[in-house]
Amino acid sequence: MESPIKETNIGENVVDLKKILSGKSEGIEEDKSKSYKLSDRMQLMMNFVDEERDNLKNQPWSKLDKSKKYKLLGEYIDKFSIDNKISGESKSVLTSLITKSLSNNLLNKQSDVNYNIEEQRIERISILFFNKHKNQYDIKIKENNSRVTTKSKTNIDRLACQSKKKKNR
């Protein structure tokens, strides 16, 4: 069961669409005098979006998203390699070291990365050091010196400790 009516309607619509897209709208009148005015709510929303976009640029290192951090680290590595005359394999090893450090959350603290918010560039990575013995760069991890807090002792525990001390004398 074929329906020639449907094929004809589809064909006519395609022809009309082709005319519109090609700019040959002979039978179609365009009203170029229409101008659209933004409503107050739309204007407020546009201003809000603009402010948010500007605020995203002015964030500290810890608030940036990972993709922005990777981009900034790439720029830092390029500048660092030019300043320290690093090229070839050494630069690729340094790149992999820094990207692995970021993916392992070693470069998330603001104290680890000196980031200039106004210029949006990394000035220095404070935990990146050159190991002269291995002739390569390393990341020094700062260890947390946490205090071990002991629970308060019961009277029985105190007596047991005192008796052990007396035996050892």
Q: Kindly state whether residue 92 falls inside one of the protein's structural domains.
A: yes
How many structural domains compose the chain?
Answer: 1
Residue 53 is assigned to a structural domain of this protein: no
Q: Is residue 78 part of a domain?
A: yes
In a structure prediction context, what are the per-residue pLDDT tens digits for the chain, which is 169 residues long?
444 444 444 555 555 666 666 655 555 555 555 555 667 888 888 888 888 877 777 888 888 889 999 999 999 999 999 988 888 888 999 999 999 999 998 888 888 899 998 888 999 999 998 888 887 888 888 766 666 666 677 888 888 888 877 777 6
pTM surpassing 0.75? Answer: no
Residue 54 within any structural domain of the chain: no
- Amino acid identity for residue 5 in this structure: I
Give me the long-range contacts of 132-141 (CB less than 8 A, separation at least 24): 136/90, 136/93, 137/93, 137/94, 137/97, 138/97, 139/97, 139/98, 139/101, 139/106, 141/106
Rounded Cα distance between 120 and 60, Å, is 9
